[in-house]
Structure 1
Amino acid sequence: MKRQKWVMTIGMLALLLIIAACGGSAQPAKVAEADQAATTQSAPVAETESEAAPQTRTVSTAKGDIDIPADPQRVIGLSVVYPDFLYALDIIPVAVQNYHEELPTYLRDPLKDTIKMGISRTPDFEAILAAQPDLILAPTWWSEADYDQLSKIAPTVLLPERDNWQDELRDIAEVFDRADKAEQVISDLDAKKEQAAKELDELAGDQTVMYMRVMAKEIVISGENIDRGNLIHKQLGLNPVPDFPQTESTMSISLEKLPDYDADHIIVQLDNDGPEVKERFDEILSSSLWQGMTAVKNDHIHTVNDREWFNVGMSPLADSNAIDDVLGFFK
C-alpha cells in the first residue's frame, strides 16, 4: 500500500511539472504574436513615407512625358544662355555650353567648378558622359537631332523656342518645380528696369544713344526692334538716333555711313577679343569720320565687354548687369 501511494505521488508531481512547462511556453508565444502584429501594422507607415518623397517627377516635353529625378543634382545645360537661366533659379549646373573661354563675371565665381564645354553644333558626348549628369536640358531647335543619343546618357528635356527670355525661364523653372522663383526673378528685374528708366530720364534727357557692335568684317547697329536694342531704347527709354529705320532690327553699315547716325552717346560692343576685331576697331578709332562724331568729341564713347553683354536682351542676369553699366555711363 505504501509503495502504491508513493507511485501516485510521483505521478502527480510529474503532471504538475508538465502543466507548468506548458504554461511557461504560452507567454513567449503571445509576445511573438504581438511582435508580428506590430511589424504588420508598421509596414503601411513605411510605404506612406516613401509615397511622400517620390524619387522621380513626370514632365511634359517636346518628346512626350518623361520621368526625371525629383531633385536633380547634376544638371547639364546645352545652350550658351542656360548658365544664366539656371543660376537665376539657384541651380548650379555641372556642365554647360559657353561661347567665350570664360563665363561673364557675374557667373564666374558661382560657376567656377562648372565644366565649360565650348559651343558646337554637335555636342561633346564624351564630356557629357564624363560629367555623369542626372538631367540634360537643351533647346529643341539646337539639339533635337541629338536627342536619342543624349537621352541614353541621362533623361533629356528638350525645351521649345520662345519669343522672349521670360517664357524661356518659365519653361526651365517648370522642369525644376520652381515657377514661383521664376516669377520673382522677372518681377525683381522689372522693378529694376522701371527705377533705372526714371533715373536715366533725368540723367540723359533728350540725348540720343546708338548701340553698335564691331565685328571682324562689319559694323552692326541695333534698333529697338531686337532684343539688345529693345532693352536700351524701349525698356530703359534712351532715345535712338532719329534716322534709324523703324522697320529694321539691326543694320550692317560701313565706316563711311557711321556719321549718318550721329548720336550723343555710343555704346560700343566688340564682338570678341580676337585680333581681327581689335584691328577693325583700331581702324575705326583712327578714322577722321569717327573722330568727327558728336559722341567722340564729347568723350561719350562707352565700350562694353562682349563676354558681359553677349546675352543682353536674352537673360535676366545679363540684362541686370547691362542696366548697371548703362547707369554708370550717365552717372
Structure 2
Amino acid sequence: MTTSPLRRCLVAGSLAVTAALALTACGSSDSPDAGPPASTHTVKTVMGDVSVPDAPKRVVVLDTAELDSALTLGVKPVGATHADVESGFLDYLSEDQVSGIEDVGEMMTPNLEAIAALEPDLILTSKIRHGDKYAELTAIAPTVMTENTGYPWKANFQVHADALGRKAEARKVTAAYAAHTAEVTRALGGAAKAAATEVNMVRFVEGADIRVYGKQNYIATILADVGLGRPAITDKAKDGFSYDVSPEKIDLADADAVFHSTYGDAKKSKQTQTVGSGLWKNMSAVKNGRVFPVDDQLWIQGIGYTAAEKILDELRADLTK
C-alpha cells in the first residue's frame, strides 16, 4: 500500500505540535497520490467565510455540542475531544454512537498533533472554546467556528449542518423537535397549564456556588419551547445565565417543580449538605414531591437535538406523574 505524504511526514517528524502542524502542508493537492479535488461550498462563520468539502468524510469535533450535532445529522466524527467527566464521551450517547471515534484530548486542551494525525477534512468548534487556536487548527483542516455555545445552540446547529452538507437532514431534525415539544405541551394539559407551572433548574457545581439557571442557556430554551413558566428569581440571573446562591439561600430556588443536577463530587459541590438541609426540605416543591434529580451530562452538557429529545421525554415523564 502506498503511504500518503502526510503519513510519511507525521511519522518522520518530531512529536512537537508545531512540527506536526507544519508537516500537514505535505499533503498538498500537488502530491502525486492526491485524488481529484473535492467539490466545496462556502460557510459563513464568525471567523469569516470558510471553504469546506461538500460532503466531508473525516470530521473532528472539539466540543460536546458539535459532537451532538454531527451524530444527530448522521455523521460519525473520526475524532472528538472529551468533556471533563469520568466516562469520557458524555453518557447520554450510546456505545454504538461513539464507538470508533478517536479521543483527541480534553475539550479545552485538544491535542493538535492527534488531530493532525487523523487527517481531517473538517473541524467543528466555537470561538469561545478555541478561538486562540484558530490559526493552528486551520493549518490542519478547514475549521468552522460558531461564536459561542449553549444558548444559541439552534443557530449553531444550522451552521454545523451547512458545514457538514446536511441541510436537508437538519430540516427534518428541527421539524421532529417542534412536533415533540408540542406533544409534551399537550401532555402537560395544554399551553395555559404549562405556562402556569413554574419550573427551576438547579445545578450543584464543584468549586462554585449553586446555580439557579436563568433564561439565557441551553436548558432554558427547551423549557421555553414547551411553554413552561419560570419563577421570578430567574429574571435576576447574571447575563440571563444563572443566579448563584449559597446553601443558606437555596429556598430562593423554590418553584412548582425543581430539577437539579450535580457537576463533580456531591460533597464538594455542596449537593449533599444542601439537599439534607431544613431549607431544602421545607421548599414546597420538595414537600409536594416535585423535585427531580437529572443527569448533568444530558441536561447541561449535551447541548444539541439528540440530548434535547431525551430531555423532552424526561420532562413529560416527571411533570405528568
> What TM-score do you get using the length of structure 1 for normalisation?
0.73
| Structure with higher RCO (Cα < 8 A, 6+ apart) | 2
Once the two structures are superposed, residues 21-50 of structure 1 have per-residue CA deviations (whole angstroms, 9 ceiling, x without a partner) of: xxxxxxxxxxxxxxxxxxxxxxxxxxxxxx
Q: Does 1:235 align with 2:217?
A: no
Residue aligning to 2:319: 330
Verify the 8 A CA contact 1:77 1:83 in the aligned structure 2.
Answer: yes
Quote how far apart the aligned CAs of 1:207 are: 4.2
How many residues are treated as equivalent by the alignment?
Answer: 274
Q: What SS does the aligned partner of 1:106 have?
A: coil
Flag the 1:209–1:138 CA change in 2: closer, same or farther, 3 A: closer
Once the two structures are superposed, residues 130-182 of structure 1 have per-residue CA deviations (whole angstroms, 9 ceiling, x without a partner) of: 32322222323433332332233233334444862222111122223221211
Residue aligning to 1:115: 102
Residue aligning to 2:250: 258
Q: Does 1:317 align with 2:297?
A: no
| More helix by percentage | 1
C-alpha distance in structure 2 between counterparts of 1:140 and 1:147, whole Å? 8
1:1-331 alignment runs, 5 A limit: 55-62=38-45, 67-99=51-83, 100=85, 101-161=88-148, 164-201=152-189, 206-216=196-206, 217-232=208-223, 234-241=224-231, 243-244=232-233, 246=235, 248=237, 249=240, 250-273=242-265, 276-277=268-269, 280-311=270-301, 314-331=303-320
Verify the 8 A CA contact 1:197 1:237 in the aligned structure 2.
Answer: yes
Once the two structures are superposed, residues 282-319 of structure 1 have per-residue CA deviations (whole angstroms, 9 ceiling, x without a partner) of: 1112211111122222332200111111246x421221
C-alpha distance in structure 1 between counterparts of 2:251 and 2:48, whole Å? 53
Verify the 8 A CA contact 2:218 2:300 in the aligned structure 1.
Answer: no
Aligned CA-pair RMSD: 2.7
Amino acid at match of 2:221: N
> Any unmatched runs of 5+ in structure 2?
1-35
Verify the 8 A CA contact 2:266 2:272 in the aligned structure 1.
Answer: no
C-alpha distance in structure 2 between counterparts of 1:72 and 1:225, whole Å? 32
C-alpha distance in structure 2 between counterparts of 1:148 and 1:222, whole Å? 34
Flag the 1:272–1:305 CA change in 2: closer, same or farther, 3 A: farther
Kindly name which structure, 1 or 2, has the bigger radius of gyration based on alpha carbons.
1
* Percent identity of equivalent pairs: 24
Verify the 8 A CA contact 2:61 2:67 in the aligned structure 1.
Answer: yes
Of residues 121-130 and 60-69 in structure 1, the stretch that sits farther from structure 2 once superposed is 60-69
C-alpha distance in structure 1 between counterparts of 2:254 and 2:50, whole Å? 54
